[in-house]
Structure 1
Amino acid sequence: MTEVTQPERGSKRQRTRERIVQAAATLFAERGFDDVTVAEITSAAGVARSTFFRYFPDKANVLFADDDASHVLLAKAVAGAARTRAPLGNSLIEALRAAHSACLVLADSKAIQALRFPMREQLIAETPQLQACSLVKEREYTDALEAALIEQGAEPLIALQAAHISTACYNAGYTEAFKTPDLLASAVDRAFKRLLNVGSARD
């Protein structure tokens, strides 16, 4: 009996969370972020206010609903990329190559999210509160990447440096492909390749 009810409960929680995200996205698209309240989101989603706060600390975090899953995806991608290189040890170049592959996987995932909610990035660009939240989330991605590299045997200082450099490359690609999310992965790839080619480039 327990084996049947647990998946159903999990599925119901996911559906409820998705209703909240969809309702918020629709309202934000129609009226902008600042002019939408949590009460209006819960009304549109058909859930109680207390239910909303079981899933999200505030309305800003609704726009970053996929981040936890993305952290897991990033860690798995690093593990896959590092499989033939681990342990990464003190090799910055090998850590960067593993992070490069992982960031391409993340970019593909983020492109899908952007196509799902096309107004998200524009809302972030226009709203100081969301910009601040985005910076916090960016640091969480850097931390997740650092932890994943350490898990694959990179020395802590190498993992720290590679994670921050990789975040910079990802952000460079993001800035380039801001209005064309389907090109995000290729833009991130170019940013990494420019970096990795520095050592072999002529002065």
Structure 2
Amino acid sequence: MGRWEPGARERLVMAAVDLFADQGYDATTVAEIAERAGVTKSTFFRHFPDKRELLVAGQEALSTLLAEGISAAPADASPLAAVAAGLENAATAFGEVTRQIAPRLAAAVASSAELQERDALKSVSMAAAMTQALVERGVPEMTAALAGELGTLAIKKGFATWSDGDRTDAFAPYAVHALDELQAATHALS
């Protein structure tokens, strides 16, 4: 097994997504994932505490990128403009591998209540990171929470559009466009 070959983490994620899509989340074992990725079980556990965590790999990094982008936005930026800056910064985490596994990942999540729950927690974590970054900029908490939730919805909507089809362009414009659409939709609420 290629225990010391680079890219073990990415290979584990790809192997897991493939196996989850082929045979279901519950029927897939850590040993099968490690074998498909060409690593040992101990290598698996150096990267992930359990198989659930494979599907939220990079979650903490994504939340950090969102918060850093919001913090770096111009001081006079509105809360949603700061969220847009966070989305643009976080878009660097969305590469070709992410686009390739998106349909299989969506199928795996849809087939498992446990994974749906984990996916929901991922959304809560992203919204919380954006909310906290906005509060630290002096945005009132309720406004910050709403902007954080809109940012999370923009990521989901933008990702669904970006990952659908044979696109080769960057993720950021899709997320920012989705945020603009959500902002326009909020005006229709009054």
Gaps of 5+ in 2: none
Within a 5 Å distance, the mapping from 1:52-131 to structure 2 comes to 52-80=44-72, 82-85=73-76, 94-107=78-91, 109-110=93-94, 112-118=96-102, 119-131=104-116
> Within the alignment, does 1:18 sit opposite 2:10 as a pair?
yes
User: 2:87–2:155: 8 Å Cα contact kept in structure 1?
Assistant: yes
- Matched residues in 2 for 1:130 and 1:200: separation? 34
The match for 1:192 is: 179
The match for 1:150 is: 135
Gaps of 5+ in 1: 1-11, 87-93
**TM-score normalised by L of structure 2:** 0.73
Instruction: List per-residue Cα deviations over 1:113-143 (Å, max 9, x = no partner).
Output: 4324242223223332221111011111111
Residues 67 and 187 of structure 1, relative CA distance in 2, 3 Å threshold: same
Secondary structure of 1:117's counterpart equals: helix
Residues 46 and 113 of structure 1, relative CA distance in 2, 3 Å threshold: closer
Residues 83 and 46 of structure 1, relative CA distance in 2, 3 Å threshold: same
Secondary structure of 2:98's counterpart equals: helix
**TM-score normalised by L of structure 1:** 0.69
Of 141-150 and 125-134, more deviation after overlay is shown by 125-134
Counterpart residue type for residue 35 of structure 1: A
Alignment coverage as a number of residue pairs:
183
CA RMSD of aligned residues (A): 3.4
Of 118-127 and 182-191, more deviation after overlay is shown by 182-191
User: 1:74–1:145: 8 Å Cα contact kept in structure 2?
Assistant: yes
- Matched residues in 1 for 2:106 and 2:66: separation? 20
**Aligned-pair distance for 1:29?**
4.9
Counterpart residue type for residue 67 of structure 1: Q
User: 1:145–1:163: 8 Å Cα contact kept in structure 2?
Assistant: yes
The structure in which a higher percent of residues are helix is: 1
- Matched residues in 2 for 1:121 and 1:145: separation? 24
- Matched residues in 2 for 1:110 and 1:173: separation? 11
